[in-house]
Amino acid sequence: MRLCFATNNQHKIKEVGALLDSSYTILSLSDIGCVEELAEEQSTIPGNSFQKANYVFQKYEVPCFADDSGLEVDALKGEPGVDSAHYAGPQRSFEDNMNLLLKNMANHAHRGAQFKTVITLVTSQTTQQFEGILRGQILYDKRGQGGFGYDPLFLPDGYDRTLAEMSLEEKNRISHRSIAVAKLVEYLAGRH
């Protein structure tokens, strides 16, 4: 079965492709001739995930899944959430976003937060959503050089290193994205 992953991130395509059996061929957006930027106009992570997958399915008539992720901070009522990528402005700077988060968290002792990924699969037969959550704490200072986004500020529950202090393999074993991908893969494997 040909299945589009609504991304051009070859790393993500390879990662999912390696987890699926050979009856699935994972295609990127450019593989199906989609060169446009996909709109993310919804106010929730599941909403944006659905919007992207559904748009590609309707327009290109290829079964498709899309992911959308963000950081939800308890004390900030779930912010930055859907605005995670551009929290501090359209420049989408990881540094600016982290600095704004630290500022907004300055007076909060409760530091609980979660990363969330929602993957939406849209085919002619079904629409399914798969959620992955990683709980942790927002630190008062950045730690580590690895990863991306808010990783240097995020200490996963049960660990003494931030996501930015972990190897990519270690992060991938516990991440919100890998939890959601594992659920998608389990669902697809069960369809045979």
Does residue number 152 form part of the binding site for ligand IMP (CB under 6 A)? no
CA distances from 124 to 24, 128, 154, 188 (A): 16, 12, 39, 14
Nearer Cβ to ligand IMP (63/149): 149
Please give the backbone phi and psi of residue 136, each rounded to the nearest 5 degrees, phi first.
-175, -165
Task: DSSP letter for 154, please.
Answer: E
Q: Is-contact 44 117, C-beta < 8 A?
A: no
Q: CB of 96: closest distance to ligand IMP in angstroms?
A: 11
CA 181 – CA 10 distance, rounded (Å): 15
CA 138 – CA 167 distance, rounded (Å): 19
Nearer Cβ to ligand IMP (148/160): 148
Does residue number 72 form part of the binding site for ligand IMP (CB under 6 A)? no
Q: Catalytic residue at 67?
A: no
Q: Among candidates 27, 28, 13, 9, which has minimal Cα distance to 181?
A: 13
Does residue number 132 form part of the binding site for ligand IMP (CB under 6 A)? no
Stretch that binds ligand IMP, among 15-23, 58-66, 68-76, 123-131 (CB under 6 A): 68-76
Which residue in 67, 68, 74, 151 is the catalytic one?
68
Nearer Cβ to ligand IMP (50/150): 150
The residues assigned a catalytic role are 68
Residues that bind ligand IMP (CB under 6 A): 68-71, 84-85, 97, 115, 147-151, 163, 175
